[in-house]
Amino acid sequence: MDELTQRLSDTQPVEVGGPKPTLEELHTRLTDIGTVFVKFTETRGGTDLGIRLDQEATDLGAADFEQGAGTVHVEGTLILNDDPVRCIADIDLATLKGTGRLVVVEMSEAVG
């Protein structure tokens, strides 16, 4: 396992990442695009990962996007430095920050 993957497997602070980290962009990515950016902020310069959403595991039930309140539970897969991983994060819509971690998975789950 890569050293970065190992470090990010512990629960730590995250925030919404990507080119436009706004509430509106997050909503669009969650509901229309199917990918989100999660930035792990405790690495040098931050590690911004593009996550392909697992729609069945992602939960928007506690989110109120109109009021910018509540939380979203995001899960999805990617390949990080040759390691197939699942990103699991909970994001507060008021701050666009939360906690997250990576879990190593089988290659077929990350690319499938």
Contact (Cβ atoms closer than 8 angstroms) between residue 49 and residue 80: yes
Per-residue pLDDT at 19 exceeds 70: yes
Per-residue pLDDT at 112 exceeds 70: no
CA distance 30 to 60: 9
Domain 3-111 sits in CATH at: 2.40.250.10
28, 40, 57, 94, 107 from 98: Cα distances, Å: 19, 10, 17, 10, 27
The pLDDT tens digits of the residues spanning 27-69 come to: 999 999 999 999 999 999 999 999 999 999 999 999 999 999 9
Where do the domains of the chain lie?
Answer: 3-111
3 state DSSP class of 88: strand
Phi first, then psi, for residue 26 (nearest 5°) are -60, -45
Sign of CA dihedral 54, 48, 50, 38: positive
Put simply, whether the predicted model's pTM sits higher than 0.85 gets the answer yes
In this structure, which amino acid lies at residue 91? I
